[in-house]
Structure 1
Amino acid sequence: MPLFLRKIGLIVGFLGMSFFAFSQTSNELNYQIHIKKAVGKITLDGLLNEPDWQTAEPTTPFRQQFPYDTAQAIQQSEARITFDDEAIYVSYVVYQPRKYAVQSLRRDFPQGGGIDLVAFNFDTFKDKQNAFHFAINPYGAVREGLITRGDQISNDWDNKWECRVQNYDDKWVVEARVPFKTLRYRVLEGVNEWNINFFRNNLFLNERSSWAQIPRGLPMNSIAFSGTLVWDTPPPKPGANLSIIPYLTAGGTADYLSNRPWQNTAGVGGDAKVAITPALNLDLTINPDFAQVDVDQQVTNLSRFELFFPERRQFFLENSDLFGAFGNNRLNPFFSRRIGLGRDSLSGNNTTLPILLGARLSGKLDNNWRLGVLLMQTGRKQNVAVAANYGVFTLQRKLFTRSAMSLIFTNKHNFFEANDRRNADLFNRVVGVEYNQASASGYWNNKFFYHRVFSPERRTEPYTVGVNIGYFSPKWIVEANVTRQGENYRPDVGFVQRLGQGIWRTPVFIEKVWFPANPRLNKVVNSYGVGIDADMTLRATNAQVWDWDFSPVIGFMRFRNNASLRVTPVRYDYTYLFADFDPTNTGGKALTAGTSYLYRTMRFFYGDNHARRLYMDVQGQIGEYFNGRITSFTPTVAYRYQPYGLFSLITTYNRIRLPQGYNSTDLLLITPRLDLTFSKSLFFTSQLQYNNQINNVNLYTRLQWRFKPVSDLFIVYTDNYFAQEAWSAENRYYAPFQSKNRALVIKLTYWLNV
C-alpha cells in the first residue's frame, strides 16, 4: 500500500475515535408529538374548525434559535398534525401582527432569511440525513424541497401538496395537506415513528424559532435535532403510485453564427414516476425538454479553471445526494450537468444536447441500505458532443447513527462516427468508495474517499484520494482537508476543477465565535469572531508549491437585525504558473509559464437586513493582482414590492491594471432581474445579463401559469447578443447588440396520477 494511503488510514482511525468522543444525545426523546387518525373530514380552508383539530396534540412552546437559543420564542407558534387515508394534515397558529415580509406570491419562493414563513420537515426513515421540506408564507405561497446530507436543501424538487392561509390582526393560520403519495415511507409492524420538526422565521422581531430546539449558529434545517412523530395508529400502507407527466412544446430557434435562420420546432415527450416499493422510486424520461429551467447566473471568471454551476433540472434532483455527493466541490466523480449540456465550440455558449431517453432508480432498500441506478442515452450535436451512453450505480450502507459507507460506479461510452476525430476515449469509467461520518450531535462531519478512473489506454495515477474533517458548533467552525489528485484523474462524467495535474491540496479554515454578554452590546450585535484561512496546492512529483493563499485574520460580526459584516484586512496569494495565463481572461498578452507571483489584497463583505423592502449587499477586494493591481466591487440592490414582485440588480465590476504591454481592462457584469407574481398561479420572470468578458448579452424571459398543482404552461424566450463589436475567424464583422441566437418555446406539462 502506498505510504500516503497508510497515512490517510491513520487519519480515518482518528476520525473514528473523535466520532465517539464528541457525539451527543439528540432531541428524539425530549421532543415527541403523537399523531392520530382524524374521525371526520378535514376541509382545507385555514379555519381549523373541525373537531379533529381540537383533539390533535399541540406542540410545546417554540424555542428561539436566533438571536438566542436559551429562551422561548417571544412570539409563539403552535402546530398540530393529523391524517386520514389519503394525506397528512398540518396546521399552524402563528402569533404576529398583520405586518409581514415576503418577496412574492411565487411557488418555490427562494431560500433565505428575508421572508416570514413557517415550515416542517419529515424524516420518514429516521436516518437523520434525508427529509422532505415544506414551507408556507403568510400569503399562502408554498415551496417544497428535499434535504440531503443532514442539512443541505434543494428547492428544485416539485411535487403535489396544498395549503390555505387565513390572516387576522394578531395572527395568521395555516392548514396544509400533504398526500401520502408525495412522500416515501415504510409501514412497520408495531409502533411507527418518523423524525419531525417545525420551524418559524419571524421578520417582525428578527427571530427564528423551532419546536425541537436547534443550537444557534447551526442550519435551521439540521435533521440531527429533529423530534419524534409517534403514530398512535399506523399510517396507511403505500399503495400503487404511478405519475405520468407528458409535455408538448412548440416554438422556434435561430443560430445566426452558424448561418441557420429561424426554424419552427415542436416536440413531445414526458416523464413517469413509478413507486417500485414505498421507498424505491423509478423515474423514466423520453425526449425530455428543460426549456423552463431558469438560466444560469453568469459570473466573471478570473481563474484558470472551470466554474461549477449547480443542477437545476427536476429529473436529476430526487435522491440527488446518492449520485452527486461524492468527493468534494472540486473533485466529483459524477456531475449530472455533463448529461444533456455542453459548450458550443463556435459560439462559446452553453447549449443543450438531445437526451433521447433515461431511467433512474433511487431510494431505500431498507432502513440501512440505499440504491441508485441511472441510465441515459444522448444524441449527437454538431460542434458540441458525440452520442453517448451514461450509466451510474451507487450503493450506500448506513453505519452508526448518521454515518454511511458508499460505493459509486460511473460509465460513459462514446459512439464515434467514422470521420469523427475527437480527442476522447471510447469509454471512461470510475469506481469510488467513501466513508461519510456524521456525529449524532450534528457537529462533526467527516469524509474519506478514494476514486479511480478506468479507460482503454492505461495511464499513470488515474485516482484521487482525500480526507475532509469538519467541526461545526455554535462557538467553533473548523474545516481541514487533504486531497491527493493523480495526474490522470479525468472522470468524463464528473467535475474536476484542475484537470491534468498531479497535486496535493490542503485547505484549512478555523473560526472562533463569541456571543456578547453585555446587555447594551447584544441589543445590536448577535455574535462576532475571528478566523484564519489557508490553502496550499503542491505539485506531487517534486513538492513544488503551485498555489497558496493565506488570510491570517478574518473578522466578522453578525447583527441582531440579520445583517452581517466580514473583513479580511490582508490576504496573501502566491501563484506559480504551470501554463501561460492572461490574468484578465480576455485574450490579452499572457504571463509566461514558469513564473511566480506573490500579491496582497484586502477583502470585505456586507450583507444587509433582507427584511427591509430596499436592501443592498456588497462585497469586494482591493490590492495587488499578479504583476498589477485590482479593484473589485459586487453590489446587489433589491427592492421588494410586497407581495407581488422583487426587482434586483447585481453588478460586478473588476478594474484590472497590468504593466504596459499587458491587457489592462474593466470587466463589467450587470444582471437586472424582475420577478412578478400576479397571483399564486401566474408568474413572470425577466433577466438580462450583460457580460463584456465573454462579449455576450443574454436575455431570458419566462411566463408561467400553474393551472393545476404541478401542471404548467410556460412561454420562454431567450436571446444572446454581442456586448461589443467582434470579428469571426472568417473575418466577419459583428456589431454591438447583434443577435447571436434566439429561441422561443411554449411548453405545456400536465401531472397525471394513475
Structure 2
Amino acid sequence: MTKQLLLLLLLCSSLIPSFSQMALQMASEEQEEGLYLRKSQEKITIDGQLDEAAWFTGRPAVDFWENFPSDTSRCAWKTEIYMTFDENNLYIGAKCYAPGNKYVTPSLRRDYRAGGSDNITFLLDPFRDRTNAFVFGMNPYGVMREALISNGGRSNDDWLGEWDNKWQGESAIFDDYWSCEIAIPFSTIRFPEGQVDWYFNSYRFDTQSNTRSTWQPIPQNQIIMSLAYMGNMQWEEAPTTNNSSISLIPYLSGATQRDYEEGLPSTSTFGVGGDAKIAVTSGLNLDLTVNPDFSQVEVDQQVINLSRFEVFFPERRQFFLENADLFGTFGDDQVNPFFSRRIGVSQDTSTGAAISNPIYYGARLSGKLDNNWRLGLLNMQTAKDDENGLPSYNYTVAALQRKMFSRSNLGFIFVNKQTFADLAGDTLNNAYNRVAGLDYNLASADNRWNGKFYFHHSFSPTQGKNPFSHGARVDYLERRYAFGMEQRYVGEEYDAEVGFVPRKNYWQINPRGELFFYPEKGPINRHGPRFRSRFLWTPEEGNTDRFMFLSWDISFTNNSRLSFDFGNEYVYLLEDFDPTNTDATPLPGATGYTYNRLSMEYNSDSRKTFSYRLEPTAGQFFNGYRYGLQTNITWRYQPLGQISLTTNYSYIDLPDPYASASLFLIGPRIDLTFTKNIFLTTFFQYNSQIDNFNVNARMQWRFAPVSDFFLVYTDNYNSLDWNVKNRSIVAKVTYWLNT
C-alpha cells in the first residue's frame, strides 16, 4: 500500500509540469478567448506554491502587455495567472517572473499602495458593466490588499474605495520568479446568479525590470486600473453562493480621557456594539451597526490652510466605505450633496481636529439589483451633542443608479437630515434639510470621453433664493493630447447641510488642456505642457476670481517626476480676510488683488530605499509675497516598515499693518510592521497655524481574519506653552463571526 501511494504521488508530481505546459500552450493559441476556469476536484492549499494539478486544467491568462516604460509590445518578463474554483471559493494563482529576487515592499502592512513596490493586482467585474470591480492584490512577501473600484477607474480622481473583508492569500519566492495563491469566498463578493461570463484584468509592478504590465493592453496615459480594458473570464459552470450568509462583527472597547484645558478630571468609558453583514441577494448586501465606535481610525493629516474656505478631509471609517461611491460621488469635489463625515463627526475648534459625535445605530442596503441597476439606502441616528449645540438627528440617503450605453450611468440621490426635537428658539439648527438631485456620468467604451452633468436642489424650512446647483464636465483623452471643460453654478441659498459645499453664490468655468510627447530614447519617458484655468463670477460683483496655470510635466524612465509651474491669479475679496488664518489684521474686503507665482515639484524614484518629494514656491501673494517649501522624505527599512517626514513651510510677507507670518507644519510618521499581523503607527503633527502639537500612536494586532485588537494613544499640546490640551488612551477588540 505504501509503495502504491508513493508511485501515485510520483505520477502526480510529474504530471503537474506537463499540465502547466499544456495550459500555457493553449493560452497562447486561444488568447482572444480569454481565461477559462474549471472546477477543482481536489483541495487547494493556500501556500503560494501552485503545486496542485487543478490549477492547470483551465486556460490561464498569459502574454502580458507592457504598460511602462512602453505600451506597444509584450512584456519581456512573463506573468502567468491560473484560476480554479470549488463549491465555496474562487482560487487565483500567479507566477511572476523577474530578473532577480531583490523585491521591494514598503512594509508588511495590509492594503499597501501599488506604486513603488513589487505586486500583482487582480480586477474582478462579475456584472460585466466595466464600471465597478473588486480588487485583490498580493506582493512577494504575502502581503494582501483589497479595494473597490467605481466609475470605471476612469482617472486618478475616481473612487478606489477602501474595503476590508475575509479572504486568504500567501506568496512564495523562488530563484527567477515569485508566486502567489489566493482564495476568495463566494460570500465575500457580490455576483449575478447563473452567469458564467465575467470580466477580468490584472496589472503587475516589477521593480527590478522597472516595468508595469497588464493582461489586457492599456494605453500609458490611461489609468492602469481602468475598467474600459477588460478581458473575458469564463466559468465551466456558474458559481453559487449562500444568499443567507451572515457575518457578525462585535466589539468591546474601553477608554480613559481628560480635558486639561477645561480643568476636568479624567473620565473612563466602556463601549460595546458591533456590525453585521447580511447577503440579501447575490448582488445586494445589508450592513447594520449598533453603537459604532471609530476610535481606532487613523487621525487626519493636518494642512496649512491659506484659503478662505473649508478644507476637505476624506472619510476613513470602515462602515461608510463599502459601496461609498453610490452615496458620495454625486456632484463634484466642490459641490457634493452627501459627505459622510457630516454624520457623527464634529470639529474641535481648539485643534481643528475631528471629534466623534455618538451614533446610536445605522443601516445600509447597497449593491447590484441586476446588471443595469444599483441601489443604495442609508439610515443613521446620532445622539444629541450639547457641547456643539446639536440636537439628535436622523440621516437618510437613497441613491439609485441605472447603467446607460456602454459604461455611462444615470443616478438619482435624495438626502434627508431631520430632527424631531423641539427647536423653539434655536436659530442655529433647522428641523430638516433635504437635497434631491440627478447625475449623468459619461464614460465612453474606450474611455476617451468621460464627464458628468448634474442638477441638485435643496429644501429647508427657511428656503431662500436659488436653492439649487448644477454643473457639467467633459474631458477627451487621446494618446498625444487631452482637453476638457468644466462648468459649475451654486445658488445663493443652496443649502446641503450633509454635503461638502465650501462656497456658494457663484458661477464658474474651468477650461484645460494637455499635450504628451514620447521620446524614443533617453531618460525621459513622457513630457509635455499642461494648461489649467478657473474663472469665477458672483451675481453682485462680476468676475471675482481668475486663475491660470501653465506647467511642463516630465516623467522619467526611472519613475521620478518633475514639473515646472507658473500661476497667475486674481482675487476680489468680498469680505475682510486674513491670509494667514491666524486672527491677524485682515486685508480689507471690496478689493481686488492680482499676483503671480513660480513653483517646482520633484518626486524621486519611490523604488529606492530613500525617496523624497520637494515642492518650492515663490511669488506674490495678495499685496505682498509668499515663499514656501513642502517636502516629504521617506526611508524604507524593508520589510519592517518605513519612517517618513512631511514638512510644509510658508513665509507670508505682507506690508504693515497686515500680518507677516512663518507657518510650519511638521509631521514625522513611523510605520512598523513586526509581522503581517502586528502593526505600530506613530504620527506626530506640529501645526503652528493652530498652535497645536498632536501625538497619535496606534497598535494593531490582527489575531484572526478581519479580527483585531487596537491600542490607541492620543495627545494634544498647546505649541505656545506646551501645556497639555487633552489626552486619551483607547483599547478596542473586534471579532468577525460567520454564521
Scaled by the length of structure 2, the TM-score of the pair is 0.93
Q: How far did residue 417 of structure 1 move?
A: 5.5
Q: Tell me the distance in 1 between the aligned counterparts of 2:264 and 2:420.
A: 26
> In structure 2, what is the Cα distance between the partners aligned to 1:477 and 1:656?
36
Distance, in Å, in 2 between the alignment partners of 1:660 and 1:215 is 54
Are residues 1:246 and 2:250 paired?
A: yes
Helix, strand or coil: the match of 1:506? strand
CA distance in 2, matches of 1:484, 1:540: 11
Tell me the alpha carbon deviations over residues 601-625 of structure 1, each in whole angstroms, 9 at most, x when there is no partner.
0022111110000011111310000
TM-score by length of 1: 0.91
Going from structure 1 to structure 2, the CA distance change for 1:112 and 1:620 (only over 3 Å counts) comes to farther
CA distance in 2, matches of 1:346, 1:529: 45
Query: Hey, what does 1:464 align to over in structure 2?
Result: 469
Give the 3-state SS of the residue equivalent to 2:378 in structure 1.
strand
Corresponding residue to 2:221 among 217, 220, 223:
217
Percent identical pairs in the alignment equals 42
Q: Are the structure 2 counterparts of residues 652 and 346 from structure 1 closer, same or farther at C-alpha, using a change threshold of 3 Å?
A: closer
Quote the residue 1:425 is aligned against: 430
8 Å CA contact retained: 1:156, 1:313: no
Q: Give the structure 1 partner of residue 532 of structure 2.
A: 533
Separation of aligned partners in 1, 2:128 and 2:666: 45
Give a deviation string over 1:506-528, Cα, whole Å, max 9, x none: 112211111112x3x2xx11101
CA contact (8 A) 1:138 1:165 kept: yes
- Could you tell me how far 1:165 is from its partner in structure 2? 1.1
What displacement does 1:365 show?
Answer: 1.2
Aligned to 2:170: 164
Report the residue type matching 1:300 in the other structure.
I
Amino acid in structure 1 at the alignment position of 2:452 = K
Q: Which amino acid aligns with 2:679?
A: F
Secondary structure of 1:260 counterpart: coil
Aligned match of 2:687: 691
* Residue 587 to residue 541, structure 1, CA distance change in 2 (3 Å): closer
1:108, 1:155 within 8 Å by CA — same for their partners in 2? no
In structure 2, the residue matched to 1:56 is 58
After superposition, where does 1:507-518 map in structure 2 within 5 Å? 507-517=510-520
Match of 1:288 among 275, 288, 292: 292
| Alignment-derived partner of residue 333 in structure 1 | 337
Query: Cα deviations across residues 91-145 of structure 1 (Å, max 9, x unaligned)?
Result: 1111121111110001112x24111101101011111111100111110011110
Distance 1:673 1:347 in 2: 19
Query: Residue type of the partner of 2:599?
Result: R
Amino acid at match of 2:295: A
Gapped regions of structure 1 (runs ≥ 5):
1-27, 725-735
Task: Give 1:164 deviation, angstroms.
Answer: 1.3
How big is the shift at 1:359?
0.5
Are 2:262 and 1:255 equivalent residues in the alignment?
A: no
Counterpart position of 1:231:
235
Mapped partners of 2:581, 2:369: distance in 1: 48
Among residues 185, 192, 195, which one is paired with 2:196 in the alignment?
192
Is 1:183 equivalent to 2:189 in the alignment?
Answer: yes
The counterpart of 1:611, out of the listed 607, 611, 621, is 607
Paired letter, 1:743: S
C-alpha deviation, 1:695, in angstroms: 0.7
The question of 1:547 aligning with 2:545 is answered yes
Partner of 1:21: none
Q: Secondary structure at the match of 2:72?
A: coil
How far did residue 541 of structure 1 move?
4.6
Q: Deviations over 1:419-471 (max 9, x none)?
A: 87341211100010111110000121111100000111231100001111122
Q: Please give the alpha-carbon distance, in whole angstroms, between the structure 2 residues aligned to 1:629 and 1:369.
A: 53
Q: Given the alignment of the two structures, is residue 628 of structure 1 paired with residue 632 of structure 2, yes or no?
A: no
Q: 2:129 aligns with which of 122, 127, 130?
A: 127
- What whole-Å deviation, never above 9, does each CA across 1:638-692 have from its counterpart, x for those lacking one? 0000011110000000011110211101000000000000001111000000000
Identify which of 269, 276, 281 aligns with 2:273: 269
Amino acid at match of 2:271: G
Provide the residue aligned with 1:42 in structure 2: 44
Alignment of 1:102-141 (within 5 A): 102-109=105-112, 111-141=113-143
Aligned-pair Cα RMSD in Å: 1.5
Count of equivalent residues: 704
* In structure 2, distance between residues paired with 1:535 and 1:355: 39
| Aligned-residue offset at 1:406 | 0.7
What is the distance in 1 between the residues matched to 2:46 and 2:31?
A: 32
Whether contact under 8 Å (1:431, 1:451) holds in the other structure is yes
Map of 1:642-661 to 2, 5 A cutoff? 642-661=638-657
What is the CA deviation profile of residues 206-257 of structure 1, one whole-angstrom value per residue up to 9, with x for unaligned ones? Answer: 2100111111121111111011101121112443221100000012111122
Give the match for residue 727 of structure 2: 742
Query: 1:531 corresponds to which letter in structure 2?
Result: R
Partner Cα distance (1:31, 1:313) in 2: 41
Following superposition, the deviation at residue 297 of structure 1 comes to 0.6
**Could you tell me which of 645, 667, 672 is aligned with 1:671?**
667
Structure 2 CA distance for aligned equivalents of residues 446 and 412 of structure 1: 29
Structure 1 residue 149 and structure 2 residue 151: aligned?
yes
Q: Report the 3-state secondary structure (helix = DSSP H, G, I; strand = E; otherwise coil) of the residue aligned with 2:451.
A: strand
Matched, 1:563 2:563: no
From 504, 509, 513, the equivalent of 2:507 is: 504
Q: CA deviation at 1:343?
A: 1.3
What secondary structure, in the 3-state scheme, does the structure 1 residue paired with 2:682 have?
A: strand
Moved more, 443-452 or 145-154: 145-154
Higher deviation after alignment, 505-514 or 593-602: 505-514
CA positional deviation for 1:478: 2.0
Q: Distance in 2 between matches of 1:31 and 1:461?
A: 55
2:626 maps to amino acid: I
SS at match of 2:300: coil
Q: Which of 486, 491, 499 is the matching residue for 1:486? A: 491
In structure 1, distance between residues paired with 2:425 and 2:315: 29
CA contact (8 A) 1:536 1:548 kept: yes
